[in-house]
Amino acid sequence: MEIVIIGGGFAGMNLAKALLNQDGVRVTLVDKNNYNFFPPLIYQVATAYLEPSSISYPFRKFFAGKKNLQFRLGEFQEVIPSENKVILSNGELFYDQLIFATGAETSYFGMENVKKNAIPMKTLNDAIVMRNTLLKNLEKAAITKDIRKRRKLLTVVVAGGGPTGVEISGMFAEMRKNIFLKEYPELATTASNIYLVDGGPALLAPMSKKSQEDTYKALTELGVVVKLNNNVVDYVDDTVHFANGDTIQTKNLIWAAGVTAREFKGIGAESYGRGKRLKTDAYNKIEGTQNIFAIGDTCIQFNDPSFEHGHPQVAQVAIQQGINLAKNFKLSMNGKAQVPFIYNDKGAMAIIGKNKAVVDLPKPEMHFKGFFAWIIWLFIHLISLITYRNKVKTFYNWMVAYFSKDNSLRMIIRPDKKAPKITTTES
């Protein structure tokens, strides 16, 4: 059986790993990057607390020596279901089973100026661009004599009150307190404001009311200005515009406010649901297809009794769907009945700052905050990294940052724009 997986995130990698050494199965994983990375920690790369290699690992290094797994660098272009063929940016592949596991991408809700000028927080490239942008703006602020320009360079607006927005706001507040005034004495007399804005009535909307209240209180104590029920409608001329008419002047709008799935050429319009997510049955097969599946953030499923409106777009759903789909492929090969996907909600968590986090557990229903929740967050994220190398490097950097209240990764590293491009020619 030839299985082709498009996308090497949580869903795709867990599907591939679950099919390792499976007799009669050959898996080809396709990704536009040559590395897997851990999205929940990209904000720590963006704020220079971790280096990119701490949360990423090359696919080919991971697949080395695994006989039935192989990697293909390329971008999806089109699927031709009648021929069981996928067209990539650099060739084509034939499949018996095709799985889309491409995750989600940043949604700007149709606001072109925001898309053009804001800093997204979805990929490792985004994190590196953000790190460089923020560090360059600090350097500019250190030498400018114009107070208004300096304030714009130092003001940070984070749009989106979900885990990413909360975590990066808390990180900025910690850095302002422990690092910026020490390393940038020129800025000691200038106020630097951090705003966390969201269109809803509470932070961390999917979490418990206790977590929402604890998070609001902790961020406020750190000096973050939280603005709820405030929708961003535009970002132009270094000014963030809100629906209620308010404005904030800043050079740094970080966009963590929404995600959307993508469309795939060759898949009919009737197969898409809310947010461009592919509608699947209880076994993750895309509606209207015979042997094409979708897992993770790119799919939506209405068959789970506890999630009638679809599963949340979180890592645990993607991981569990990948493992369940692999199990079903094995059952099908042995002529046995497949198992419908039922999500096992293991809870939700968010880190706010040093010794500050919130954790909700559903079974039994429990809520934790403060140092104990912070330890849980660190442990869960550490064991979720893909290799021991990633775990060790990340743990080391965390410990250094914890005891020193600092790190040494704040370098502005830019690629040489004149570097030659790598091209492939085929005869």
Instruction: Report the CATH number at residue 208.
Output: 3.50.50.100
Residue 366 lies in a domain: no
The verdict on 253 and 125 lying in the same domain is: yes
Instruction: Report the CATH number at residue 315.
Output: 3.50.50.60
CA contacts within 13 A on the Cβ side of 122 = 20
Q: Report the Cα 409 to chain-centroid distance in Å.
A: 21
pLDDT (0 to 100) of residue 348: 93
The verdict on 140 and 252 lying in the same domain is: yes
Residue owning tokens 């090359």: 58
The verdict on 231 and 266 lying in the same domain is: no
Tell me the pLDDT tens digit for each residue of 232-244: 999 999 999 999 9
The verdict on 119 and 253 lying in the same domain is: yes
The verdict on 287 and 246 lying in the same domain is: no
The verdict on 308 and 243 lying in the same domain is: no
DSSP letter string, 184-253 = -GGGTTS---EEEE-SSSSSSTTS-HHHHHHHHHHHHHTT-EEE-S--EEEEETTEEEETTS-EEE-SEE
CA dist 389 and 53 (Å) reads: 9
Would you report the helix, strand and coil content of the chain in percent, each value rounded to 5?
A: 35, 25, 40
* CB 120 within 8 Å of CB 164: no
- Domain containing 320: what range? 2-32+74-104+261-333
The verdict on 116 and 249 lying in the same domain is: yes
SS3 9: coil
Q: What is the mean pLDDT of residues 419-425?
A: 44
pLDDT (0 to 100) of residue 399: 85
pLDDT (0 to 100) of residue 409: 65
Given 258, 274, 289, the domain boundary residue is 258
Given 315, 333, 351, the domain boundary residue is 333
The verdict on 84 and 17 lying in the same domain is: yes
Residue 220 lies in a domain: yes
* CB 101 within 8 Å of CB 318: yes
Instruction: Give percent of the chain with pLDDT exceeding 90.
Output: 75
The verdict on 187 and 319 lying in the same domain is: no
pLDDT band at 406 (very low <50, low <70, confident <90, very high): low
| Number of structural domains found in the chain | 2
pLDDT higher than threshold 50 for residue 352: yes
How does DSSP classify residue 162?
Answer: S
Residue 299 lies in a domain: yes
Residue 42 lies in a domain: no
Task: For the chain, report the end-to-end CA distance as a whole number of angstroms.
Answer: 30
CA dist 155 and 199 (Å) reads: 20
CA dist 326 and 340 (Å) reads: 12
Residue 191 lies in a domain: yes
Verify cis geometry, omega within 30 degrees of 0, for the bond prior to 364.
yes
pLDDT higher than threshold 90 for residue 422: no
Residue 43 lies in a domain: no
The verdict on 145 and 272 lying in the same domain is: no
The verdict on 192 and 229 lying in the same domain is: yes
Task: Determine the angle formed by the axes of helices 163-175 and 209-221, rounding to 10 degrees.
Answer: 20
Q: Report the Cα 53 to chain-centroid distance in Å.
A: 16
pLDDT band at 427 (very low <50, low <70, confident <90, very high): very low
Strand order in the sheet with 2-6: 69-73, 26-31, 2-6, 97-100, 292-294
Given 303, 333, 363, the domain boundary residue is 333
Tokens of 353: 């700052």
Query: Which burial class, exposed, middle or buried, applies to 156 when counting CB atoms under 10 A from its CB (0-12, 13-18, 19+)?
Result: buried
CA dist 151 and 159 (Å) reads: 18
Nearest by Cα to 328 from 289, 297, 283: 283
The verdict on 301 and 169 lying in the same domain is: no
Tokens of 212: 């929402």
Tokens of 370: 């403060």
pLDDT (0 to 100) of residue 425: 41
pTM of the model: 0.90
Torsion of CA 253, 42, 124, 386, to 10 degrees: -170
Q: What is the mean pLDDT of residues 410-415?
A: 70
CA dist 41 and 14 (Å) reads: 18
Residue 311 lies in a domain: yes
CA dist 384 and 39 (Å) reads: 11
Residue 251 lies in a domain: yes
Bridge partners (DSSP) listed for residue 97: 3
pLDDT higher than threshold 80 for residue 266: yes
Tokens of 406: 């600092």
pLDDT (0 to 100) of residue 398: 84
